[in-house]
Structure 1
Amino acid sequence: MTPTRSNLRRLAAGAAVAVGALLLSACAGGTASGPTETSAENGAESGDLGELTVQLSWILNEEWSGELIADAEGYFTDAGLTSVQLVPGPSSGVPELLSGTADLSLTDALSVGAAVANEGAPLKVIGATFQKNPFTIASLADGADITTPEDMIGKKIGVQDSNRAVFEAFLAANDIETSEVDIVPVQYDPAPLTTGEVDGLIAFVTSQSVAIELQGIEVTDLLFADNGLPFVGHVITATDEMIATRRDALKAFLEAEVRGWTDAVADPSVGAQLAVDEYGTDLGLQIESSTASATAQAELLVVSDETAANGLFTISDDLQEQTLASLATSGYELTAADLFDLSLLDEVYEANPALVDAQR
């Protein structure tokens, strides 16, 4: 189910407030806070599989609704884990995995693919929360109105440092040289677009674009996924060593994740409420905007016809090939075996077929 632009406007009530809060808190980092007592109460006698530390790519807001629900409802402990520590970003997660300070990361496929291709990093993607990456070039409908990649030529495009690589990959995918666009360094605040400092802005379709429209300003979105750069997002990534030595713990994590995100899709307000009231209390989040973002995220990015058929976090052969092709446009030549190991998720669903049925 994909919402139209008018759907996103309705989902966006209060989104501008949330974006402002995120911008102020983006580099706060720190460790996760949350209802650990609740998790202990709800969890069955467990702990045989030990603890896991999970590095998130972004701050601890509703973007991680499924993880927050899995923790609060005791799904991690039900699955046999002692505890799961959710460490907020921003971070690609790759350094933490390679240094051993994190057991798992939730990050973007391009960062993982680049590390595997360039450094021979022993990493594998074992599942993906987002079936479609959220990147877009947002522009004003009554301004530059960028509807095709070629429309970017000669325009000022606001690009955050952390998104420079993905933007260059987007240009390469569309045979556009970096010299053909005017790249303007910006932060995550959408203000440079609304004030006319830039003609277009790298944004998340479920975040900044929605926030701008809340101001009564119509946005044109040029989605990377629909314009030459499709790849999975929020990929669950582990080292080869973790897969070999703690396979059962990783499978327990995946099982709990599926349960958490099934709940998050069924009622996005649950994860939003947890983010506002429990886990992101230092971020100044607002329930209306967090719910809007969580709803748009669930509908646009998390579910698809393929997840309905095969289960959340699955990555079809076609989507694997699309992701690899997007990596190849940046010079990262990999095979599916180099980047993906979906055997753990297959085993989880084989042992728990009701998990797929619960998503329908």
Structure 2
Amino acid sequence: MPRIRSRALAGVVALAAAGLALVGCSGGGNAPGPEGATAISFQLDWVKDTGFAGMFVADADGYYAEEGLEVDFLDGSDVASTAAVIAGGGAEIGIVSNLARFVDAIGTGADLVVVGALYQQSPAGLMTVPPLTVKSAEDLVGLRIGTDESGTADIDTLFKVNGLQPDWEDVRVGYDAAPLFDGQIDAYYAYVTNQPIPYQLQGIDVNTVTFADLGFESYAGLIVTTRSFFEEHRDAVVGFVRATQRGWQATIDDTTAAAKTVIASYGADLGLDEPTQVASLDAMIPLIQSAYTASNGLLAMDPAALAGPMTDALVASGRTGLPDFGKVFDATVVKDAKK
């Protein structure tokens, strides 16, 4: 899952300054791969860990190959804006970490289309230690909250979407939760699938809550392509989504096996440990499944959620001139993948 929040501002600047200028540059290419397979470069937004396990399982188990695809996964740890890479032709398909970043990219003129959303509920949230438990936005009033760059905006939005004026102390701690345990802060801005895991595995009692649980809803892990690639290679995009759905279902069915696949191959040089990766996947599952995906398939996007609470959150964040989601989100791909 995306963990490049500290590069949020840089990502927007990169897209505006460079992304569109990249149009026409050589990317991963969509020329035939081995034995006639269509080659697709897929831009990740972080390192090759279990945040992308479903894609890696789909590759390792031959699901992409069955769709006539040869997928090359591009590391995203040093990428300021995956939207800029995709818009500029550096990858045919890729991940944009959340709805706000996608909207910001569209606002710069990027002609992108979302064809699926991995996370039905963003993993962004808060981490606290007992006895403090956050159950509502009101519980955050007056708290010292450890953040990074994008955390400040997200927490302000959380207040506003709940009809509150932001009233909290912003303590910049970056990617280090230690101040929470030292008593320097009351809560820590975190991905609930990531930072809490090592502490939980050590038996340290921590509480977590997602922003969605507090009323700030957003899709995350958006699967994005350019409109031109989508229109010219729609069958390949549908095949990619179908294989990805199969890979994530296999991951849900056996998180340990999926973690082993990632550790042994795709993330072999990262020093990943199995207990942490399995626990991270177990924490992901409730966020990538929903009542809507149960009826419509993994990666499905609910138009009512986009038009309702997710738009409300974008407006609360101060964004204006929002795109017509009916034109930049294509729900038919997931539907066709089920056929």
Q: TM-score, normalised by structure 1?
A: 0.77
163-172 or 54-63, which deviates more? 163-172
In 2, the alpha carbon distance for the partners of 1:55 and 1:157 equals: 32
Aligned partner of 2:49 in structure 1 is 61
1:137 partnered with 2:126:
yes
In 2, the alpha carbon distance for the partners of 1:51 and 1:169 equals: 40
In 1, the alpha carbon distance for the partners of 2:87 and 2:46 equals: 19
In 2, the alpha carbon distance for the partners of 1:252 and 1:115 equals: 25
Displacement, 1:121?
2.4
Instruction: State the AA in 2 paired with 1:304.
Output: S
Aligned partner of 1:73 in structure 2 is 61
1:152 partnered with 2:146:
no
Determine what percentage of the aligned residue pairs are the same residue: 29
Does the Cα contact within 8 Å between 1:47 and 1:82 map onto a contact in 2?
no
Match of residue 218, structure 2, among 231, 245, 251: 231
Size of the aligned set, in residue pairs, is 305
Instruction: State the AA in 1 paired with 2:297.
Output: G
C-alpha change, 1:217 and 1:45, in structure 2 (3 Å) is closer
* Partner secondary structure for residue 308 of structure 1: helix
Displacement, 1:45?
7.5
Displacement, 1:111?
0.7
Deviations 1:97-133 (A, max 9, x none): 12211222212122102222x3232122110111111
Displacement, 1:263?
0.6
* Partner secondary structure for residue 53 of structure 1: strand
Instruction: State the AA in 2 paired with 1:336.
Output: F
Aligned partner of 2:334 in structure 1 is 345
User: Structure 1, unaligned stretches of length 5 or more?
Assistant: 1-21, 27-43, 351-360
* Partner secondary structure for residue 218 of structure 2: coil
C-alpha change, 1:51 and 1:164, in structure 2 (3 Å) is farther
Does the Cα contact within 8 Å between 2:180 and 2:186 map onto a contact in 1?
yes
1:307 partnered with 2:296:
no
In 2, the alpha carbon distance for the partners of 1:105 and 1:209 equals: 27
In 2, the alpha carbon distance for the partners of 1:109 and 1:101 equals: 21
1:196 partnered with 2:186:
no
Aligned partner of 2:233 in structure 1 is 246
After TM superposition, what 4+ stretches of structure 1 lie above 4 angstroms from structure 2?
Answer: none
Write the mapping of 1:11-30 to structure 2, written as runs, cut at 5 A.
Answer: none
In 2, the alpha carbon distance for the partners of 1:87 and 1:249 equals: 22
Displacement, 1:90?
5.7
In 2, the alpha carbon distance for the partners of 1:204 and 1:75 equals: 29
User: Structure 2, unaligned stretches of length 5 or more?
Assistant: 8-32
In 2, the alpha carbon distance for the partners of 1:290 and 1:217 equals: 18
Deviations 1:212-254 (A, max 9, x none): 3334433233321122211111110112112112212211211
Write the mapping of 1:315-326 to structure 2, written as runs, cut at 5 A.
Answer: 315-321=301-307, 322-326=309-313
Aligned partner of 1:3 in structure 2 is none
In 2, the alpha carbon distance for the partners of 1:297 and 1:184 equals: 27
Displacement, 1:162?
4.3
Displacement, 1:176?
4.2
* Partner secondary structure for residue 82 of structure 1: strand
In 1, the alpha carbon distance for the partners of 2:187 and 2:269 equals: 31
Aligned partner of 1:295 in structure 2 is 282
Instruction: State the AA in 2 paired with 1:109.
Output: L
* Partner secondary structure for residue 169 of structure 1: helix
Displacement, 1:177?
4.2
1:284 partnered with 2:274:
no
1:212 partnered with 2:199:
yes
Displacement, 1:328?
2.1
C-alpha change, 1:345 and 1:46, in structure 2 (3 Å) is farther
Aligned partner of 2:325 in structure 1 is 336
Q: TM-score, normalised by structure 2?
A: 0.82
In 1, the alpha carbon distance for the partners of 2:43 and 2:184 equals: 34
